[in-house]
Structure 1
Amino acid sequence: MSSPWIEGLRSIALHVPDLAKAEDFYTRTWRLEVAHRGDDALYLRGSGSDAYVLALHAGGALPQIRQLTLRARSREALDAIRENVLRAGGEMLAQAHELTRDPAGGFGLKFKDPHGRIFQVVHGDARRPDGAPVQDRPIRLTHVVLNSHAVDETQGFLQEALGFRLADRTGIMAFMNCDRDHHSIAVGITDNDALNHIAFLMPDADAVMRGGGRMKDAGFPIQWGPGRHGPGNNLFNYFIDPFGVVIEYTAEVEQIDDGYQSHGPEHWKWPPGRVDQWGISPPPAALLKEAQRRVLFVPT
Structure 2
Amino acid sequence: MSSPWIESLRSVALLVPDLAKAETFYTRTWNLEVAHRTDDTLYLRGTGSNTYLLALHRGGEVAQLRQVTLRARSRAALDAIHAAVLAAGGTVLAAPHELTRDPAGGIGLKFKDPHGRVFQVVHGDARRPEEAPVADRPIRLTHVVLNSHAVDETQAFLQQALGFRLADRTGIMAFMNCDSDHHTIAIGISDNDALNHIAFLMPDFESVMRGGGRMKDAGFPIQWGPGRHGPGNNLFNYFLDPFGVVIEYTAEVEQIDDSYASHGPEHWKWPPGRVDQWGISPPPGATLKEAQKRIFFAPNP
| TM-score of the alignment, normalized to the shorter chain, above 0.5 | yes
The amino acid across from 1:74 in the alignment is S
CA distance in 1, matches of 2:163, 2:38: 33
C-alpha RMSD of matched pairs (Å): 0.4
Aligned to 2:281: 281
The amino acid across from 2:217 in the alignment is D
The amino acid across from 1:274 in the alignment is R
CA distance in 2, matches of 1:128, 1:167: 30
Aligned to 1:219: 219
C-alpha distance after superposition, 1:149-208 (max 9, x if no partner): 000000000000000000000000000000000000000000000000000000000000
User: What displacement does 1:128 show?
Assistant: 1.0
Aligned to 1:52: 52
Aligned to 2:240: 240
Mapping 1:1-16, distance limit 5 Å: 1-16=1-16
SS of equivalent residue, structure 2 residue 216: helix
Aligned to 2:138: 138
Q: Does structure 1 residue 205 correspond to structure 2 residue 205?
A: yes
C-alpha distance after superposition, 1:111-166 (max 9, x if no partner): 00000000000000010122311111000000000000000000000000000000
Aligned to 2:155: 155
Aligned to 1:114: 114
The amino acid across from 1:119 in the alignment is F
CA distance in 2, matches of 1:58, 1:131: 29
CA distance in 1, matches of 2:39, 2:12: 18
CA distance in 1, matches of 2:38, 2:72: 25
CA distance in 2, matches of 1:94, 1:39: 24
CA distance in 1, matches of 2:129, 2:221: 34
Aligned to 1:19: 19
Aligned to 2:97: 97
The amino acid across from 2:9 in the alignment is L
Corresponding residue pairs, total: 300
CA distance in 2, matches of 1:56, 1:131: 23
Gaps of at least 5 residues in structure 1 are: none
Aligned to 1:74: 74
Aligned to 2:298: 298
CA distance in 1, matches of 2:39, 2:219: 30
Q: Does structure 1 residue 38 correspond to structure 2 residue 74?
A: no
Structure 1 stretch 130-139 or stretch 214-223: which is displaced more? 130-139
With normalisation by structure 1, the TM-score equals 1.00
CA distance in 1, matches of 2:16, 2:25: 12
Aligned to 1:264: 264
CA distance in 2, matches of 1:130, 1:247: 23
Gaps of at least 5 residues in structure 2 are: none
SS of equivalent residue, structure 1 residue 174: strand
The amino acid across from 2:47 in the alignment is S
SS of equivalent residue, structure 1 residue 297: coil
CA distance in 1, matches of 2:87, 2:133: 40
The amino acid across from 1:191 in the alignment is D
User: What displacement does 1:223 show?
Assistant: 0.2
Aligned to 1:190: 190
CA distance in 2, matches of 1:116, 1:25: 29
The amino acid across from 1:25 in the alignment is F
With normalisation by structure 2, the TM-score equals 0.99
